[in-house]
Structure 1
Amino acid sequence: METKIYINESNYQNSSYNPLKQEETPRKLLWVDISHFSELWQFFICSLVVFLFFIPYGYLQEAIFAIKGFKPFGWYLTLVQFFSYSIFGLIESQFNKTKRRIPIILYLLLGLILLGSMGFSNASLGYLNYPTQVIFKCCKLIPVMIGGIIIQKKVYKLIDVLAASSMCIGLILFTLADNKVSPHFNLLGVILISLALFCDALIGNFQEKMMKKHNASNAEIVLYSYFIGFLYLLLILLVNGEFREGTEFCIQNPETYFYIFLFSLSGFFGVQAVLALIRTCGALVAVTVTTCRKAVTIIISFLLFSKPFTFQYVWAGVLIVLGIYLNVLGKTNFSNLKQIPVKVGKLFEKSRKRRKSPIIV
């Protein structure tokens, strides 16, 4: 499970949108103004902070499920995480004096979809290896394409079909490898993570539309959507008894609450870093950095946590990376691609000029 960050891919397809030229409000990273740095250094700093917070995020998530007896409490983890995000969002809203702009009725729907996305994702870790879960989360294109074909009667380009096919084959191979080498593999985990992916496909479009129409801040979205999701889940867990069972388990194992707090805190800060990266360099660069981060997380998972390994994981991973690459390539305007070396050169030129002091004769 990952903290949800929704990137408007149309931004970098639209030639009128150029994040490298926008100088709107001061660019901030974790509420610290980084505008005085060159754009090249802003990219390096934001990327470093993304890795700094999201790599511990992935480690802590797997460490929580490695606690003996915790696997049945994925929904309870989601409850505590939603509560933590609500508190963090409240603090940020008070600090920035944010006012609600989106009607509460829309938040009731957004909170429900968000609950399905993150709840199913957390619950799936009770049945799947962490790398398998992350691999599935990399393949959001598949449910998006299926929904587009069924609901909007869309016709996709050949490169999109190839990307989805590559991802599908990679997912099948990765799942078969997991089934072969993992003694705890359960098909229910695949069903749960698939449900999370379909919720992801819904929530991305829904949240983007809300933010555009009402010009809502990130702090508002985080506060209201996570708090309403928390209320939904609290009611469900009180009815089925998992709230009491989860609370008793965590009280008996108090380190669990400590891990969940760090897990939620690192995820919240990681969100802020990715948003700063989007503002600085645009969505395409942000997608590339976050995808690289997921690859590093999978490698660290195999290195730090004892789990069976087979080279079929590698071949399956290569196919999925190929699918991601084709997906990004298909959404990139090739006329804009020719400008990338020019833009990068300008960033280096700006950085060089800033280092030079004026010569006084």
Structure 2
Amino acid sequence: METRVDIEKLTDSKSNGSNVELRVLYINVSKFSPQVQFCICCGGVFSLYLIYGYLQELIFTLEGFKPYGWYLTLVQFGYYSIFGYTEQLICGKTVRRIPLQTYALLALLTLGTMGFSNSSLSYLNYPTQVIFKCCKLIPVMVGSILIQNKRYKLLDFAAALLMCVGLSLFTLADSRISPNFSLVGVVMISFALLCDAVIGNVQEKYMKAHGATNREVVLYSYAIGFLYLFVIMFVTGDLWDGIAYCIKMPQAYGYALLFSLSGYLGIQVVLTLVSTCGALAAVTVTTCRKAVSILISFTFFSKPFTVQ
């Protein structure tokens, strides 16, 4: 894949160049060997996103919470905006480089990705949602072909086909044994993946064109997305329903804080992994993490299980 090659070239140039500091969550790991750095990043991805996945499913096990997936997204966007702004202040870089109209589009796509993903848990159990997310490569490939005119090898398409087959088998089993399986949930998570297909390519295109940092993109995407969702929920009245529920169940805010913090930190570690080891290694690690998330889900939250 072209993206993979570009990142690996960048990694090689950094490793052969001057003394460039490598930081994982503000911790300097430059003194370690590349193998140790890779293991540190893997440990960060697994630890943070396993916590993220556990808390996400835990929130939806709260009595009566399932109708409030979009309110959880609003709270999550609010936390991400606060984290991003704080990080910008700490780093002392507050100048925006990408035009606001581009961020308006990115925010809408980000809202669709996370909102539909969170809301799908009202209709699907967590393992099914994770399996769908594992197929993120497929719409991203299509999006990169249409948006950035990229080319892929036959092996890439074969891998995508195998993922589709695995998804079909898993959802077929889940629809037969799980009371939480619903076509509405499948449609929601499919829309989330379609938004993912566009957002990654738009981010890559404009970040390269304007030289924007990851911090800037995260901050403006989530802050504008928060405003979008706040206005929509205010008009529909869903905002007050979510607030009323969380007043009765205040632990939901605590879970959402930890959920958002682990997700925000996880994003930073994944970006470090991509820049140091390449996209292929990053995708392999995150996919393995999702597989472990499914195992943990079956361990901590009882649900039907079959050989299929």
Distance 1:155 1:38 in 2: 33
Post-superposition Cα deviations, 1:224-244, rounded to whole Å, max 9, x if no partner, equal 110000000001111111110
1:166 — aligned with what? 162
1:286 — aligned with what? 282
Shift of 1:105: 1.3
Distance 1:248 1:119 in 2: 20
Give 1:55-134 correspondences, 5 Å limit: 55-98=50-93, 99-134=95-130
2:171 — aligned with what? 175
| Alignment-mate amino acid for residue 78 of structure 1 | T
Shift of 1:281: 2.1
1:29 — aligned with what? 24
Post-superposition Cα deviations, 1:308-331, rounded to whole Å, max 9, x if no partner, equal 11111xxxxxxxxxxxxxxxxxxx
2:227 — aligned with what? 231
Shift of 1:210: 1.2
Give 1:125-164 correspondences, 5 Å limit: 125-147=121-143, 157-164=153-160
Assess, with a 3 A threshold, how the Cα gap between structure 1 residues 22 and 308 changes in structure 2: closer, same or farther: farther
Post-superposition Cα deviations, 1:9-67, rounded to whole Å, max 9, x if no partner, equal 34257599556545563111111211122222212222112212111110000000111
Distance 1:82 1:291 in 2: 24
Assess, with a 3 A threshold, how the Cα gap between structure 1 residues 19 and 171 changes in structure 2: closer, same or farther: farther
Secondary structure in 2 matching 1:35: coil
Assess, with a 3 A threshold, how the Cα gap between structure 1 residues 111 and 16 changes in structure 2: closer, same or farther: closer
**How many aligned residue pairs are there?**
306
1:9 — aligned with what? 4
Secondary structure in 1 matching 2:83: helix
| Alignment-mate amino acid for residue 87 of structure 2 | E
Post-superposition Cα deviations, 1:79-109, rounded to whole Å, max 9, x if no partner, equal 0000000000000000011121111111111
Mapped contact 1:128–1:184 kept (Cα < 8 A): yes
Mapped contact 1:12–1:284 kept (Cα < 8 A): no
Assess, with a 3 A threshold, how the Cα gap between structure 1 residues 35 and 211 changes in structure 2: closer, same or farther: same
Distance 1:145 1:279 in 2: 20
Mapped contact 2:53–2:293 kept (Cα < 8 A): yes
Post-superposition Cα deviations, 1:221-267, rounded to whole Å, max 9, x if no partner, equal 11111000000000111111111001111110011000000000011
| Alignment-mate amino acid for residue 92 of structure 1 | E
2:183 — aligned with what? 187
Distance 2:91 2:253 in 1: 28
Is the counterpart of residue 259 in structure 1 residue 232 in structure 2? no
Shift of 1:145: 4.4
Distance 1:155 1:216 in 2: 25
User: TM-score normalized by structure 2?
Assistant: 0.92
Q: Percent identity?
A: 58
Mapped contact 2:8–2:278 kept (Cα < 8 A): no
Distance 2:144 2:50 in 1: 32
Mapped contact 1:110–1:225 kept (Cα < 8 A): yes
Mapped contact 2:74–2:230 kept (Cα < 8 A): yes
Distance 2:169 2:224 in 1: 38
Distance 1:30 1:156 in 2: 33
Give 1:197-346 correspondences, 5 Å limit: 197-312=193-308
Match of 1:54 among 27, 43, 49: 49
1:43 — aligned with what? 38
Distance 2:130 2:86 in 1: 30
Distance 2:19 2:221 in 1: 27
Distance 1:20 1:28 in 2: 14
Shift of 1:280: 2.7
Secondary structure in 2 matching 1:9: helix
| Alignment-mate amino acid for residue 190 of structure 1 | V
Assess, with a 3 A threshold, how the Cα gap between structure 1 residues 148 and 283 changes in structure 2: closer, same or farther: closer
Assess, with a 3 A threshold, how the Cα gap between structure 1 residues 15 and 87 changes in structure 2: closer, same or farther: closer
Mapped contact 2:80–2:264 kept (Cα < 8 A): yes
Shift of 1:278: 2.4
State the structure with more CA Rg: 1
